[in-house]
A = this chain, B = another copy of it.
């Protein structure tokens, strides 16, 4: 990927938006590369929510053009010996702590190299041991956006961390999945991908059980359901989603992350 001063840097953190922490990171980046374009993915990842961050980033990253830099900081181990990474994939650069935040991206992209950040030339001195987002990750992302090669930041690693992603299980009758994310609308996003269900949906007879409720078949648009109807649909990232038309499925079902969803054709 060639260099461009106008490269996009996305930011995702668990810093919230009330304390100015994200502003400080952006100030550091713009001080190094005033031409880059900064885009927030979200800063509302729950504190230390590595799984949640990995999921949200895993959905959003591929909407960005090739060459974009995804800077992600959800970092419960800040200040320890955990690695700080620069990753180059076929399409993107990734910058963040080595704790599995990039798990979904690793699965979706060919990894070209993973570099452990060692080179302190790019950091201020001294660095804070509580805010690597500002003092390590922001300057590294900014220098990357100037066209610096990933290997300039440290040493190539041959191991890196992933988080455990619950996979749907095969059952006697079909599959068992679970709710892995609940979005702003109260939609329940499961870990069941479209490709798994397609063999079952041909006949239109897919049965879904969740929280003691039954859903027959899949909708292809929210508005095929009646107001207040419980429904299943593939979400915009091709995962099975349980929704209530015009309402919050989380509230209607008193659902939570980890709730099980059973799928079968009778």
Are B60 and A24 in contact, with the CB atoms below 8 A? Answer: yes
Are B223 and A79 in contact, with the CB atoms below 8 A? Answer: yes
CA distance A48 to B79 in the complex (A): 36
The residue that A18 contacts in the complex, of B6, B42, B68, B223, with Cβ under 8 A, is B42
Can you tell how many copies of this chain the complex includes? 3
Are B30 and A60 in contact, with the CB atoms below 8 A? Answer: no
A125-133, A196-204, A256-264: which lies at the B interface?
A: A125-133
A15-B184 in contact given A34-B65, A56-B20 (Cβ < 8 Å) = yes
CA distance A236 to B17 in the complex (A): 17
A149 part of interface (Cβ distance < 8 Å): no
What number of A residues sit within 8 Å (CB to CB) of B? 69
Within 195-233 of A, Cβ neighbours of B (below 8 Å) are at: 220-224, 233
A161 to chain B, nearest CB (A): 15
A176 part of interface (Cβ distance < 8 Å): no
Are B16 and A12 in contact, with the CB atoms below 8 A? Answer: no
Are B27 and A130 in contact, with the CB atoms below 8 A? Answer: no
A78 to chain B, nearest CB (A): 6
Are B12 and A222 in contact, with the CB atoms below 8 A? Answer: no
A10 to chain B, nearest CB (A): 6
A240 to chain B, nearest CB (A): 12
Are A19 and B128 in contact, with the CB atoms below 8 A? Answer: no
The residue that A38 contacts in the complex, of B39, B184, B235, with Cβ under 8 A, is B39
Q: List the 6 shortest-distance A-B pairs measured between CB atoms, nearest first.
A: A79-B221, A131-B236, A16-B184, A27-B63, A27-B64, A20-B60
